């Protein structure tokens, strides 16, 4: 017979679990029903769904969405498999090569080209064009998920790059808060004003590691009239691109407005550096807005579009998270049912609200929080945002991961010149126009 | 008479002799293990060798064809490959040699009698117990130039004015991760050498003392020869592990900055899963295999008879 002490400790344990669960789903107040385990239908078919992003809030929202779908009908049971983001691409390649991919998965737009060439993705063109939300989705989103004239994925969310700024620091140092039409000179002046090395404070958290570092540098280069592709040829090493790139890496080399760790700073470092006050600006998409609201405080930061360059131009690349179905899926109908359910208004809105990326339908992106101040920098970028030129060829995705980051780092630390870096990058892109 | 004749007839001879049957039975017992070994070790090696002879880029299925030694020719002409090989040898040499020296010192200390020895022995094992990925994450935080504790301590002590970017400076990054690897690997040598020290009979030291040998002479003439088999095995094992396993590099630097910490095993992974060039990645892994086989052959030749000499 168990005594009261053991019952008490078990109650305490269950309460602690419930509290942890409550914290995990605290963003999901829209879920009216109690959070119960799914009803298991006897004859339900199974759909394997893989999801790749490693943040607790995203785990919670996807888990709850899957549970809700499973409860809402009895034909399909979705089993979600969470995979660490850093291993996602590798695991998916292995699964496709072994002819055992999941039925459907979340996929970044940059990977779609590769998997189309691998003949791994289902052509959804006809079905999506007949889908009820096809025309109400922003055209740029369809561009991002169209490869070789085939729509291969649902655009789950869309965003662009912008600049996060610590408004408290701007105020503290008596600087002027820039306007959305700020220029490179305004950016540099602000970065210099916010840099106090003796206090371990730097104006701009440059991202030096990974493919996004290359993408950010390229976006800024467009402000000087540079382009990745011009008349069908690679033009990333044009004189305009070289001079823009020199300006960009001079933020580290000459002006020293970036932390000394910039060459190897990745996503986590630039986001945390901003939250800790080490840096006062950084470039990223809207995906870190919700995190900064919690870490930095909603009143202490703002977002602005990328500054205008000397050529009176600027560009921001769209980034899309997508939902796709594999050709080798054993339950394509079930996968379609689940993904179209995920793209319904409430589900789509709730996911984007937690993820911080904008919904792909204006009717949803015109709802809070997307209309609030922290998102304004990204919304204001839409007029000049373009689909990433690095999506033009499937062969470029892998090179953006493998060869571009070391080249960028070599240029940042001064091992090679900016021109040599871009010449070699242009050569790689030209050889891989697959 | 007929019955006696029948009884006197020899029993029919078995097809196989007793010795042969016993040998076959032994092989039968080994067969499941051999099949597993074959399936998990030999088959992948043969498959990798086969793959390395083909142009096999996943996003270019139309270009798939036999190219013989084409991937190996490419490797010879690839400056990044030679850089990764140099980095690999630097990584292995400094990591293992300093792990061994430090591990030896710690083992000698722990072999003595002092209060709290059991506690120190347990603490000294901690770096080995923590998973490699966790070690990498912890040290990445320690080395963080902007808010990591190392720079903070150095600054407070007045030994540093500007933050040092340990993992972002191409000249400092390799020493920094080697230091982490040394910290992590010391317990391995400590355990192995301590076990060896405790197995040395006390009488040998007593005899040496009676013969007039001092501390250093006893160490050189008794301790080291008795430990030689353990040192050889531990060092060889550690060299092979360090050459192949890149968990620390993967977590702390990803091979950067600018390939400064890229070793051949991480480069192989990158070729396979970023460039999707499985032919070239297979050739890199075959070269790694050849290097390890060469090292193992040399090691077996050099250490032949070491165990019998020490015994």
Q: Which of A310, A326, A434, A307 is nearest to A381 (CA)?
A: A307
pLDDT of residue A234: 97
Structure tokens at A168: 């408290």
Question: To the nearest whole angstrom, how far is the Cα of B124 from the nearest Cα of chain A?
Answer: 31
Is the pLDDT at A87 greater than 80, yes or no?
A: yes
> Which residues pair with residue A316 across a beta bridge?
A385
Within 10 A of A252 (CB to CB), how many other CB atoms are there?
23
Residue A100, chain B, CB below 8 Å: the answer is no
Using pLDDT thresholds of 50, 70 and 90, give the confidence band for residue B291: very high
The Cα A328–Cα A331 span in angstroms is 9
Residue B4's pLDDT is 56
To 10 degrees, the CA torsion angle through A167, A171, A175, A181? Answer: 30
Please provide the average confidence, as pLDDT, over all residues in chain B.
90
Above 70 in pLDDT, residue A356? yes
Contact B168 A399 (CB under 8 A): no
Percent of chain B residues past pLDDT 70, beyond the cut? 94
Closest chain B CA to residue A86: B251
Q: Which of residues 187-206 of A touch B (CB under 8 A)?
A: 197, 200
pLDDT at B5: 54
Beta-bridged to residue A162, according to DSSP, are A284
Q: What is the pLDDT of residues B220-252, one digit of tens each?
A: 888 998 999 899 889 999 999 999 888 999 999
Interchain proximity B258–A261, CB inside 8 Å = no
**How high is the ipTM of this complex?**
0.80
| CATH class label, A161-316+389-431 | alpha beta
Interval B105-144: pLDDT, tens? 999 999 988 888 888 888 888 899 999 999 999 999 999 9
Please identify, in words, the CATH class of the domain defined by B74-310: mainly alpha
Instruction: Give A-chain residues touching B164 at CB under 8 angstroms.
Output: 260
8 Å CB contact of A409 and B61: no
Contact A278 B167 (CB under 8 A): no
Residue A380 token pair: 């204001």
Which pLDDT value is given to residue B162? 83
Of A332, A399, A322, nearest to A143 by C-alpha is: A322
Contact B223, B200 (CB under 8 A): yes
Q: Do domains A30-160+319-374 and A161-316+389-431 have the same CATH topology?
A: yes
Q: Does B171 touch chain A (CB under 8 A)?
A: no
CB contacts, 8 Å: B59 with chain A = 114, 117-118, 394-395, 398, 434
Q: How far is CA A171 from CA A33, A166, A370, B16, in A?
A: 45, 9, 25, 95
Contact A357/A286 with Cβ under 8 angstroms?
yes
Interface contact flag, A264 B165, Cβ < 8 Å: yes
Q: Is B146 in contact with A200 (Cβ distance < 8 A)?
A: yes
- Chain A residues inside the 8 Å CB shell of B274: 89, 398, 401-402
Report the alpha-carbon distance of residue A155 to residue A107 in Å, rounded. 10
Q: What is the pLDDT of residue B298?
A: 87
Cα B8 vs. chain centroid, distance in angstroms? 66
Instruction: Compare CB distances from A398 to B144, B259, B276 and report the shortest one's residue.
Output: B276
pLDDT tens, A246-281?
999 999 999 999 999 999 999 999 999 999 999 999
CA-nearest residue to A201 within chain B is: B146
DSSP A154: E
Q: Which residue of B has its CA nearest to A428?
A: B275
Q: Pick A278's closest partner by Cβ from B147, B258, B273.
A: B147
B265 touches chain A (CB under 8 A): no
Rounded Cα distance between A387 and A312, Å, is 20
Q: State the best of B55, B58, B59 to mutate against chain A, taking most chain A CBs within 10 Å.
A: B59
CA distance A284 to chain B (A): 20
The domain limits of chain A are 30-160+319-374, 161-316+389-431
The enclosing H or E element of A162 equals strand A161-166
Distance CA A430, CA A434 (A): 9
d(CA B143, CA B251): 13
* B55 near A CB under 8 A: no
d(C-alpha B299, C-alpha B193), whole Å: 19
DSSP per position, B108-151: HHHHS--TTHHHHHHHHHHHHHS-HHHHHHHHHHHT-TTT-HHH
Rounded Cα distance, A247 and A184, in Å: 9
Q: What is the pLDDT of residue A120?
A: 95
Q: Whole-angstrom Cα distance, residue B20 to residue B29?
A: 14
Range B10-31 burial, b when 16+ CB lie within 10 A, else e:
eeeeeeeeeeeeeeeeeeeeee
Q: Would you state the pLDDT for residue A353?
A: 92
**3-class DSSP state of A348:** helix
Q: How far is Cα B202 from Cα A28, in angstroms, rounded to an integer?
A: 70
Q: What is the pLDDT of residue A6?
A: 45
User: What is the SS3 assignment for B225?
Assistant: helix
**Cα(A194)–Cα(A192) distance, rounded to whole angstroms?**
5
CA B17 centroid distance within chain: 44
| B133 at interface of A, judged by CB pairs closer than 8 A | no
Structural tokens at position B162: 């500007």
Beta bridge partners of B89: none
- Residues of chain A neighbouring B144 (CB-CB closer than 8 A): 261, 269
Question: Within 13 Å, how many C-alpha atoms sit on residue B137's CB side?
Answer: 6
The whole-angstrom separation of Cα A152 and Cα A108 is: 12
* Higher-scoring residue by pLDDT: A166, A6: A166
Q: Which among A382, A380, A384, A159 is positioned nearest to A286, based on CA atoms? A: A159
Of A389, A33, A7, the closest CA to residue A217 belongs to A389
Give the one of A119, A409, A434 whose C-beta lies nearest to B258's C-beta.
A409
pLDDT surpasses 80 at A5: no
What pLDDT, in 10s, does the model give residues B4-29? Answer: 555 556 666 677 889 899 999 999 99
Q: Is the pLDDT of residue A35 over 50?
A: no
Q: Chain A contact for B147, CB < 8 A?
A: yes
Q: Is B66 helix (H, G, I), strand (E, B) or coil?
A: strand
List chain B residues with CB under 8 Å of A401: 270, 274-275
Chain B residues closer than 8 Å to A413 by CB: 169-170, 257-258
Residue A298 pLDDT exceeds 90: yes
Among A107, A36, A101, which Cα is nearest to A70's? A36
Of A260, A398, A406, the CB nearest to B258: A406
CATH architecture assignment, domain A30-160+319-374: 3-Layer(aba) Sandwich (3.40)
Q: How many CA atoms lie within 13 A of A69 on its CB side?
A: 30
Q: Does B274 sit within 8 Å of A401, measured CB to CB?
A: yes
Tokens 């396993």 belong to B245
Contact: B163, A395; criterion CB under 8 Å: no
Contact present, A322 and A154 (Cβ < 8 Å): yes
- Tell me the average pLDDT of chain A: 90
What is the per-residue pLDDT for A71? 93
User: Scanning every residue of chain B, which has its alpha carbon at the shortest distance from the alpha carbon of A89?
Assistant: B273
């Amino acid at each position: 017979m168990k005594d009261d002490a053991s019952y008490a400790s078990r109650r305490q344990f269950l309460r602690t679990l419930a509290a942890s669960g409550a914290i995990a789903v605290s963003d999901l107040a829209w879920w009216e029903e109690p959070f119960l385990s799914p009803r298991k239908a006897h004859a339900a078919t199974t759909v394997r769904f893989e999801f790749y992003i490693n943040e607790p809030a995203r785990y919670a929202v996807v888990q709850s969405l899957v549970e809700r779908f499973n409860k809402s009908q009895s034909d399909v049971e979705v089993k979600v498999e969470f995979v660490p983001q850093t291993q996602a691409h590798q695991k998916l390649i292995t699964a496709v090569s072994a002819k055992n991919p999941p039925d459907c998965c979340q996929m970044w737009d940059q990977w779609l080209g590769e998997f189309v060439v691998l003949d791994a993705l289902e052509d959804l063109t006809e079905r999506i064009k007949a889908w009820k939300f096809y025309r109400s989705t922003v055209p740029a989103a369809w561009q991002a998920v169209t490869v070789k004239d085939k729509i291969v994925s649902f655009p789950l969310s869309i965003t662009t790059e912008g600049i996060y700024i610590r408004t408290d620091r701007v105020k503290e140092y008596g600087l002027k808060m820039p306007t959305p039409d700020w220029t490179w000179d305004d950016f540099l002046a602000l970065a210099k004003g916010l840099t106090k090395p003796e206090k371990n404070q730097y104006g701009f958290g440059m991202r030096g590691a990974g493919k996004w570092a290359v993408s950010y540098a390229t976006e800024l280069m467009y402000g000087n009239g540079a382009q990745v592709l011009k008349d069908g040829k690679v033009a990333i090493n044009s004189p305009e691109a070289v001079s823009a790139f020199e300006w960009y890496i001079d933020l580290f080399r000459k002006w020293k407005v970036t932390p000394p760790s910039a060459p190897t700073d990745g996503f986590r470092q630039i986001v945390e550096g901003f939250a800790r006050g080490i840096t006062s600006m950084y470039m990223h998409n809207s995906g870190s807005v919700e995190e900064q609201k919690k870490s930095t405080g909603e009143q202490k930061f703002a977002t602005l579009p990328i500054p205008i360059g000397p050529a009176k131009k600027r560009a921001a690349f769209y980034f899309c998270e997508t939902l796709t179905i594999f050709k080798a899926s054993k339950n394509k109908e079930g996968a379609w049912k689940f993904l179209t359910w995920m793209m319904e208004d409430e589900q789509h809105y709730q996911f984007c609200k937690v993820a911080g990326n904008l919904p792909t339908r204006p009717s949803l992106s015109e709802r809070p929080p997307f209309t609030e101040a922290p998102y304004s920098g990204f919304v204001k970028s839409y007029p000049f945002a373009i689909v990433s030129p690095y999506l033009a060829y499937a062969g470029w995705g892998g090179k953006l991961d493998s060869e571009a980051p070391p080249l960028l780092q070599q240029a940042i630390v001064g091992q090679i010149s900016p021109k040599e870096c871009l010449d070699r990058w242009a050569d790689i892109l030209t050889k891989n126009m697959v | 008479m007929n019955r006696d004749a029948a009884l006197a007839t020899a029993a029919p001879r078995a097809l196989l002799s007793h010795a042969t049957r016993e040998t076959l039975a032994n092989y039968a017992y080994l067969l499941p293990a051999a099949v597993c070994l074959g399936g998990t070790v030999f088959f992948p090696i043969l498959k990798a060798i086969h793959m390395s002879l083909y142009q096999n880029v996943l996003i270019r299925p139309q270009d798939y064809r036999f190219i013989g030694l084409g991937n190996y020719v490419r490797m010879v002409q690839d400056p990044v490959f030679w850089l990764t090989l140099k980095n690999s040898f630097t990584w292995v040499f400094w990591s293992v040699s300093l792990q061994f020296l430090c591990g030896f010192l710690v083992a000698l200390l722990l072999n003595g009698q002092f209060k709290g020895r059991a506690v120190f022995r347990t603490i000294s094992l901690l770096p080995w117990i923590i998973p490699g990925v966790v070690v990498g994450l912890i040290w990445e935080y320690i080395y963080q130039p902007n808010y990591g504790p190392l720079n903070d301590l150095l600054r407070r002590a007045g030994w540093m004015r500007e933050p040092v970017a340990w993992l972002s400076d191409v000249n400092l990054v390799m020493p920094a991760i080697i230091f982490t690897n040394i910290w992590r690997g010391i317990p391995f040598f400590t355990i192995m050498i301590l076990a060896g020290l405790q197995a040395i009979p006390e009488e040998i030291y007593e005899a040496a003392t009676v013969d007039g040998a001092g501390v250093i002479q006893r160490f050189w003439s008794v301790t080291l020869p008795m430990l030689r088999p353990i040192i050889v095995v531990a060092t060889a094992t550690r060299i092979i592990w360090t050459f192949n396993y890149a968990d620390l590099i993967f977590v702390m630097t990803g091979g950067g900055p600018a390939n400064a910490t890229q070793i051949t095993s991480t480069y192989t992974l990158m070729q396979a899963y970023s460039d999707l060039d499985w032919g070239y990645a297979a050739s890199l892994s075959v070269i790694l295999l050849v290097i390890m086989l060469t090292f193992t052959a040399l090691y077996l030749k050099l250490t032949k008879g070491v165990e019998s000499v020490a015994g």
